[in-house]
Structure formats: C-alpha cells, structure tokens
Amino acid sequence: MTRVFSGIQPTGIPHLGNYLGAIQNWVALQADHECIFCLVDLHALTVWQNPADLIVQTRQQTAVLLASGIDAEKHILFNQSAVSAHTRLGWIFNCVARLGWLNRMTQFKDKAGKDRENHSAGLYVYPNLMAADILAYKAVKVPVGDDQRQHLELANDIVKKFNHDYEIDFFQEIEALIPPQAARVMSLRDGSKKMSKSDPSAQSRIDLTDDADTIALKIRRAKTDPEPLPSSIEGLVDRPEARNLVGLYAALSNLTPEQVLSQHGGEGFGPFKKALADVMIARIEPIAKETTRLLEDTDHLDHVLRTGAARAAAIANPIVDEVERIVGLLK
C-alpha cells in the first residue's frame, strides 16, 4: 500500500481551512493507503508558544483529528517531538538544502514580513524539517493545502541533491495531493489573507470546535461586497470575499463553484450566507460535539499519541539509521 504522510501544527484549534485543505483529504485516503499523521509540535516552536498552551493544543488537535474520522488504530497518529528520527534527519537536510532555496520560500517571507532579522532560525529552516518529517518514512504522497506546494517542491530538491551527492537512489520524489476545491480557504475578514490559526481575530475563521450559533454568527458577519452573487465564475474576478464564500459552499456541498452560481446567482448575500451556514453547521457541529466528548479523557488521548509514536519510530528509525550510515556517521 502506498505510504502517505501529513502533519498539522498544534498552534491552535484546527479551522475550516485546515479541514477542507487537509484533514478531509486525510480521512478519505485512509481507505486505501497506509497513513501516518503527525502533530508537528517542533514546527509550532518556530514561533513562540506558551508551554502550557502548547500541551493543551496538542491534546485538542488530537481530539479534533479523531473526531474528524482519523482512525488511530488502523493508521498512525502521533506528535513529532516523540520520534527523534525527525530531528536527526532534519539536521542532515539542513546540510543538504541550499540557502538560495530557502530564500525563495514565500511562507517565510509572509510570516517574517519586514522584521526578518527578529525571527527564529527555526522558522527559516522549517521546510528542511518538513522534508525530514516525510522522508523519514519514505512516504510518497503528501496531502496538503495549496500553501504547502512550494515546501514540497523544496523537499524534492533535497531528494535529488541527496541522491546525487551520495551517488545513491535512496529517496524517491514525493507527490503533493492538493484538493481541487478549497485548497486555499481565505480569512472571513479579508479575502486576500488565508484563514489561519494565528490570526488574532477569531471572527476570521471557523474553528472545528465552534457550535452552530457561533458558526451562523461568523458567517453572517463575514466580509462581503454590496453586489448580489454573479451567475458565472467570471463575475467573481476582483471579488475575493465573494469568491471565498462560493468556494466554501462548493467544497462543503460537493459542487463546483459554477454549479453553486447556477443555483444561487443573482441572490443577495443574506440568503446565500444562511444557506452556507446551514451546510457548514451540518458538517462541523458533529465534529465539535465529538471533540468535546473526547477531551474529557486526556489519558486516552495521551495513550493514542504514545502508541502512535512507538509505531512511527519503528518505521523511521531504521530509515534514518541507514541515512546516517550513507553520509558517513560512525554508528
């Protein structure tokens, strides 16, 4: 069976963007792939985290993933810091990747902004650790949102350079699985920014723990423009907020944006937002309720992660041992 790897940072409660861009795809892939899902807590540290909050968020995310349909018995769910193979391989990849490659990463530029000098070195080399996360398992498919496309291209540059430098066909190139709809869900307050856990405005995102009233309110307050919905997709050009809401409706109802506009074109945002909130609540509310139930038993959540880490280490350690031998580390 083809091996899949993907990760999510425990930097807050997962939101609708994480769900439509990644988690929903993870759940579907479980049917016919060997899946390894990781809470990438070391990546979370690239931006300062309150230590007590990080632990709470790691458990919250575990609960949300289980509530969303991740099967931690058939597949593997664990937190990154519990398997040292990630950092061992990450260091080797820091020595393979070139500074020029990292300088081109747009996510670093977006996160660091003008204040580049004051950001952690970890944030800068993050894509190297991400490549190690995947390649420590020799995973070949990686389901992610569109924002991770460039990082996966860099991972493939590492694959090629490693194989070339050590004259060995050890790593195989990886394939990004990016969903056709809602691969980049935008903020509800600003259609030019992606929906993000770290956005200071809670109104900018739908958390997977939001109840029905909160979802309805956030959608009612979502930024829009005064025009009604167009009847064709061309009418969404230069209307980022409208495009985002149409994309969300499409992804949540398994329609294309064209089909959504053929049903709702000409409608004002009042009725459309009501219809959108209804499909969203139908999908998110069961996840939120199950998350609350799972969070009552943190021992069980910790057990799931510990068991997952032991199974993950059993796959990754021999692969990383072999890499260390290839590069000449005395074992």
Binding site listing for L-tryptophan: 133
156-188 burial by CB neighbour count: b if 16+ within 10 A, else e? bbbbeebeeeeeeeebeebebbbbebbbbbbbb
Q: 242 CB contacts (<8 Å, ≥6 apart)?
A: 191, 224, 225, 227, 229, 230, 236, 269
Contact 128, 158 (CB under 8 A): yes
Residue from 34, 53, 71, 147 binding ligand AQP (CB under 6 A): 147
Catalytic, 160? Answer no
By CB under 6 A, what part of segment 269-298 binds ligand AQP?
A: none
Choosing from 111, 141, 218, 289, the catalytic residue is: 111
Choosing from 138, 161, 193, 197, the catalytic residue is: 197
Of the candidates 124, 238, 128, 121, the one whose C-alpha atom is nearest the C-alpha of residue 191 is 238
Catalytic, 218? Answer no
State in angstroms the smallest separation of the CB of 191 from ligand AQP. 12
The DSSP result for 207-225, as a single string, is BTT--HHHHHHHHHHS---
Residue from 42, 185, 219, 304 binding ligand AQP (CB under 6 A): 185
The tokens for 172 are: 């195989």
Task: List, in sequence order, every residue forming a beta bridge with 5; answer none if it has no partner.
Answer: 36
Choosing from 74, 194, 223, 274, the catalytic residue is: 194
The conformation of residue 187, written as its DSSP 8-state character, comes to P
The DSSP result for 76-127, as a single string, is EEEEGGG-THHHHHHHHHHHHS-HHHHHT-HHHHHHHTT-GGGS-HHHHHHH
Residue 190 in the binding site for ligand AQP (CB under 6 A) = no
Q: How many residues bind ligand AQP (CB under 6 A)?
A: 20
State in angstroms the smallest separation of the CB of 133 from ligand AQP. 10
Ramachandran sector of residue 260 (left: φ over 0; alpha: ψ -120 to 50; beta: rest): alpha
State in angstroms the smallest separation of the CB of 49 from ligand AQP. 10
State in angstroms the smallest separation of the CB of 50 from ligand AQP. 13
Catalytic, 138? Answer no
Residue from 99, 198, 237, 238 binding ligand AQP (CB under 6 A): 198
Contact 102, 108 (CB under 8 A): yes
By CB under 6 A, what part of segment 248-267 binds ligand AQP?
A: none
The site string for ligand AQP over 7-26 (x = CB under 6 A, - otherwise) reads xxx-x-----xx--xx----
Residue from 24, 46, 79, 196 binding ligand AQP (CB under 6 A): 196
Q: Which is nearer to ligand AQP, 244 or 323 (CB)?
A: 244
Residue from 29, 77, 89, 144 binding ligand AQP (CB under 6 A): 144
State in angstroms the smallest separation of the CB of 68 from ligand AQP. 12
User: Residue 177 belongs to what H/E stretch?
Assistant: strand 175-177
C-alpha span between 181 and 242 (Å, rounded): 15
> Contact residues for ligand AQP (CB under 6 A)?
7-9, 11, 17-18, 21-22, 144-145, 147-148, 183-185, 194-198
Please identify every residue annotated as catalytic. 111, 194, 197
